[in-house]
Structures are given as C-alpha cells and as structure tokens.
Amino acid sequence: MAADFQTPEFREYPAVPNKLVPDATAHLSPFVAKPDHNEKLGFPGELVDNWHDKAIEKMGDLLGKYRGLQVFLDACVKCGSCTDKCHYFQGTSDPKNMPVARQDLLRSVYRRHFTFAGKYFPKLVGARELDREVLDEWYSYFHQCSQCRRCSVFCPYGIDTAEISMAAREILDTVGYGQKYCNEILGKVQTVGNNLGLPGPALKATMAEFEEEMEDDTGLPIKLPIDVQGADVLLITPSADFFAEPHIDGLMGYAKVFHEAGINWTLSSYAAEAANFSMFIGSYSNMKTVAERIRTAALDLGVKRIMVGECGHAWRVAYSFWNTVAGVGSGAAEDDEYGQKLQKQLDHRYPIPQHICEFTHGLLQEGKLRLDPAANDHRTVTFHDSCNVARASRMGDKPGGQFDIPRALLKAACNNYVDMDPDTIREVTYCCGGGGGLLTDDLMEIRVKGALPRMEALKDVMQNQGVTNMAAICAICKAQFAKVMPYFDIPMDTILSTHQIVGDALVLTGSTQETALDGGDDSSEKTEEAAEATE
C-alpha cells in the first residue's frame, strides 16, 4: 500500500502562492462504486447508456430545486479571491484545484445547456459540451474537494464550492458513476446501522471491554449503556468512536462526563452512527433515510434528549437538517406523523440536538464537574477547528460558540493551551485534508497534499511553543491526522480527542484519582467540600 508520490515540503512563506503545475493531480480518481453499492442507494448500478441526457436533465432538476446552485453558477466574476484559499490547491499546485476552476468544471456545462449565450455562442463564454472526458474530469476533481467551504469565506459573493461539488456528485450518482467509499458506507449504515458494519453483539462486546478499562483506571463502574429503554439521553456518535484511535478515548471521555453528571443515557445499536455521508454525495433522499434511523431509535427508546458526539459533518447534518428530515427539533412537516411524534416527545428546554461539547461546557459552568488540569501537565495542547463545525453550524447560544466552547473545555482541562496561526483557525480553519468523502486509502496522495497547510501551522506551534498535542472534535479529522502526520514527521499520536483531554482531567467522585488528590482518609468528606467549592 506504499504510496508513490512526494510529500509536499513545508513552505518558507505559506502565504505566497505556488508556481502552477497544470494537471498535477489529474491522475487521481477514487475507486468507482460497485453495482450493488449504487443500487442500495437507489442509483443505477453502473454508468447508463444515455448518461449525457440524464446528467443534463438532473442538472436542470437541481437548478430548479436549489436556487443557491444557480446563483453560484451565475454570480462568479472571476475576481480571483478564492484561487489560493484551497488546501488542495496549496498542496498540489494544480490550477484545477483552485475553487473557481473547480466550479468552472460544472459551470461550463451549465452555460452550454442553460444560458442563452452558452447555447448560441459557446466559445465566447467558455461553455463546454458534456463529453466523456468532461465527465471523468468531474469524477476526478470533484473528489479532490472536501466541501470544507473555506473558499466561500473569501468569495465576495459567497459562492459555496461545496454546494457545487455536492451537486456534481449527485449528478454522477444519478448516471451510475458513484464513488465506492461513500456509497459502500452509506449502504452499510442503512442495513447494519453504522459506517463500520458493526453488528449489535459486536458493539456490546466492545463496550464491555471499554467499561472494564475505565473501571481499571478509575475504580468506578462507568457504563457505556446500549439500548436502554426509557433513558433520558440518546447519544448519537460516529461509529469510529467504537473502533479507532484516538476516537475511543473520546468516547470514554463522554462516558465519564455522563457518569459524573448522573445522567441516564444510552447508545442505540440500531442507530449507532452520527455520520451521514449522504451530505457528501448531495443526496437529500439518502440523508433523510439515514436520519430516520435516529428518529426510530429515539421513538423506540422513549428518550427526552438527543446528543451528538465528536463528528464534524454529522454536526452540520444534525444542526441544519435533522429538524426537518427527522423531527429532531422543530420543523417536521405537518403530515410527517413520526416526525411530529418525536418533536412532541423531546424535551424542548434543552437544545435539540445538543453537541456533547455544549453539554460538558454547561456542566462546567454549573460547577458540576471537577477538573484537575495538572493531570494534563505533560501536554501542551492546540485545537483544530473542524470545517463543518466551524463554517456550517454553531454551538451554544452565542455567536462563535463553535470556536469558543471546545477551547473553553480544553483550557479548563489543561494548563498549557496555545492557538495556531490565526489565518488557519476558527472561521478560516483549514480542512484536515480527508473530509467530504475523501478519507479513503485510494486517495492518500490528495489527503497528504491537502493536509499541508494544517501540518505547517501545527509544526510551527510544535517547534516554537512546545505544543505536544492537537485536539479535534471530528472523527474524520482524527483518522486523517493519525494517518498523514507521519508523512510530515509528526507522531501519529499527536492527535487526540477533545473529550479524552477532558476525561483525563476529570476528577470523578469516589475515583482513585480523587483519593490520590485529596489524600487517603476521609475522602468522602473532602469530596463534598470539593463539590461545594466548585459550585
């Protein structure tokens, strides 16, 4: 599996645009989905014979449904502001990875078929016919976009390349030209209930192992409950939290917080997945199908609150779509029986859905958690803002909460915290390089190259400010960094889950850590004192 490409070198002045290398990554193209992957999602198994007409028809359909798409395709004035803002452009120097050029792949065909000038004077307005070469170019370069929306922040018109990339992928799926990684996974989530394909008994056995580990560490019976009827809180978290490093430690962090807060919570084996890759492929119907599993689980278990674990795009889906597609929140259609039912069942005194960071932050503010930041004194921590959380959602009840809340958690949990270069964080954060359905081995080259700006910013604070770890709140970011960091001579365990750092500092009532901190005897008395002190 050794990759045959050069890891990009760190640049002396990352702000200066690179010398262009035309078609530098024109050879990249992810594995094409198999017929059964596509068919499970309602797409044709393979490329249909009349793909040209079908693609144009679908484009017309999308233009009618999504007015933003048409605005984005019409509005560009080629000002050039976006050109050097994309991490994939910076890492590859391929001009087709400039956001405007990526948009033009679709825009040129749009002009040919949907504008007066393009129909009659195509050459004058850069209009192109959709031939097989163009279709393959779409497949290649729309899978070199992680839909992170950084470019849209710099566009004076707010053109959102992610929307264009999602539309392009939906057209590709409609003609039977889907991507294996996304479509295979979406098939699994719709049959087994999670991206991994982790069956219920395996989930239970795995959680039992983690419970044992937490008991060994703390001396307390901290639970990872599954399918608990009548629980108050249903936690929907990415299935990577059950399987991968450093995700697992984040999951144990959530469990510790729930334990300390005395919350009756549960996971669901039927809906053991926060991720919803339907967004990456622009498929609204699949997004609804996946989200409805969560609704079903919530109705069956009778929960009052729904929380979301550390997962970037899932939080966008949860925050912006769950209300209308599944009744999680307010906004279910009048005739949506189950959506209406869930809406009534949930407790509207709490945010619906609620991000796990929001929840933990609330407990901290109420003085319900005791943190010992010295437990993290061996670390100096920085925070990677995940693109979908940063630019496509919010958290808490104040603007910018999605930036401030995770940082507040980290600062409460460790004494040494520093931010990376301001041009690389918060609203203008860089994508990890693996978002948007690109987190697959067959795209390792673009993943490594696209990670360049983030790796530069991280290396800078590692060298100059002694940073040892970077925390994230997204399963894709965590998996991507663990894999690509070694290419840049950064140890893979530099990346941590935010709730791991919180969990490490959390002094649980009655735990061995508490005994060690407060001294061996009459610890129960001191616990009460400590609790009073934080209140």
Other beta carbons less than 10 A from residue 533's beta carbon? 9
Min. distance of Cβ 380 from other proteins in angstroms? 23
Least CB distance to other proteins at residue 453 (A): 21
- Residues forming contacts to other proteins in the complex (CB under 8 A) are 1-2, 31, 181, 184-185, 188, 194-199, 201-202, 205-206, 209-210, 213, 238-240, 242-245, 247-248, 275, 311, 439, 441-442, 475-476, 478-479, 483
Residue with Cβ nearer other proteins (93 or 276): 276
- Nearest distance in Å: CB 467, other proteins: 22
Q: How far, in Å, CA of 293 to CA of 223, rounded?
A: 24
Cα–Cα distance, 249 to 244 (Å, whole number): 9
Q: By three-state DSSP, how is residue 303 classified?
A: coil
Nearer to other proteins, 164 or 224 (CB): 224
- In the complex with other proteins, which residue's Cβ is closer, 245 or 518? 245
Output 33 or 62, the one with its CB closest to other proteins. Answer: 33
Rounded CA separation 222/183 (Å): 36
Closest distance of CB 165 from other proteins, Å: 19
| H runs (alpha helix) in 263-328 | 284-301, 312-320, 322-326
Instruction: Give the Å distances, CA to CA, from 215 to 193, 221, 229, 477.
Output: 28, 5, 24, 29
Axis crossing angle, helix 356-365 with helix 247-261, rounded to the nearest 10: 40
| Cβ at position 206, least distance to other proteins in Å | 5
Distance of CA 472 to the CA centre of its chain: 10
Residues contacting 485, CB < 8 A, separation 6+: 455, 491, 492, 494, 495
Rounded to whole angstroms, the Cα distance separating 266 from 419 reads 34
* Rounded Cα–Cα distance for residues 508 and 369 (Å): 8
Q: How far is the CB of 436 from other proteins (least distance, A)?
A: 12
Nearer to other proteins, 202 or 299 (CB): 202
Q: What strands lie across the sheet with 381-383, from one edge to the other?
A: 381-383, 469-472, 495-497
In the complex, what is the shortest distance from the CB of residue 233 to other proteins, in angstroms, rounded to a whole number? 23
C-alpha atoms less than 13 angstroms from C-alpha of 341 in its C-beta half-sphere: 12
- Of 34 and 459, the one with the shorter C-beta distance to other proteins is 34
**Measured from the CB atom, is 128 or 447 closer to other proteins?**
447
Could you tell me where the beta strands, DSSP code E, fall in 396-504? Answer: 469-472, 495-497
Given the complex with other proteins, which of 98 and 495 has the nearer CB atom? Answer: 495
What are the phi and psi torsion angles at 308 (to 5°)? -120, 130
* Closest distance of CB 347 from other proteins, Å: 30
